[in-house]
Amino acid sequence: MRAGHGSGLATGPESSVPDRFRLEYFAFRQLHHDAYLDYAQVRTGSRVRAVRCVETVFDRLRDIWQAALRGSPAAQAWGMLHEQANCHSDCGAGHVWPIHCLLEGRQADVVLLHRRLRLSVEEAADLMGVPDYTVRGLLRSADRALHALPPCVAPVFTDALYGRGAHGASAAQ
């Protein structure tokens, strides 16, 4: 039954795991890998780029794993992922879900996780390594910012976000 450590993730050669606290590293990786990949795919618009982003994050995290455990590994890893996704995406025309072109980084992240990937507030908070109330606060401020947008700005995007047929219809909470 045993199939290695982490959602089909090859553990690879011994050098690809940290020297100490290996199980914790594998547990962390398995806990967050799929959600990281989904996030990166929406951000970059490409599965290949998403995989590259996520692998880079876990490689870097492995190198600082012991130090990361002294603080919040989730928060550190999320910072790395956000940065990686920034490097591999832009706000050019044709971007599928350009929330990061409209909102501040962490606001956009929570909207993407909660509204697009349908994670609960608790799941999003665990993923970003922040308390629940921070996620709730960011969602509220993101909603205010989005409602303040003029109707001519990305109507298709905001319709998809709030699940309505036409822009300007009743906003979902």
Partner 1 sequence: MFELAFQAQREAVRLVAAVTVVASAEGKEWREIAEAAGTTEASARAHWGGAKAAELLAETSSTAGRRTQPTTRMAMAFTDGVLLPVVLAMQQGAQLLGNALKTLQRNLGVSPEELTQRAEVPVPAVHLVVDGQAVAPWTLTYVLIDLMEDDPEEIKWLWERAWYGRCHRDLAAGLGTLSAAFRGARIAAGTPELSAVSRRAGLAPEEAVALFEGRTNPDRSVFSLLIASLGADPEGLWPPQVPQHMTMREPQSGGDGT
By the criterion CB under 8 A, which residues form the site for partner 1?
A: 1-8, 23-24, 26-28, 30-32, 35, 38, 41-42, 45-49, 52, 73-74, 88, 96, 115-116, 118-120, 122-123, 125-126, 129, 131-133, 160, 163
CB of 146 to partner 1, least distance (A): 16
Q: How far apart are CA 124 and CA 131, in angstroms?
A: 9
Beta strands of the chain (E only): which ranges? none
129 or 149: whose CB is closer to partner 1? 129
Q: Are 77 and 25 in contact (CB under 8 A)?
A: no
Q: Which is nearer to partner 1, 103 or 124 (CB)?
A: 124
- Residue 149 CA to residue 145 CA, distance in Å, equals 7
Supply the minimum distance, in Å, between the C-beta of residue 28 and partner 1.
6
3-state class (DSSP) for residue 45: coil
Vertex 114 angle, CA 157 and 167, to 5° = 25
**Residue with Cβ nearer partner 1 (118 or 144):** 118
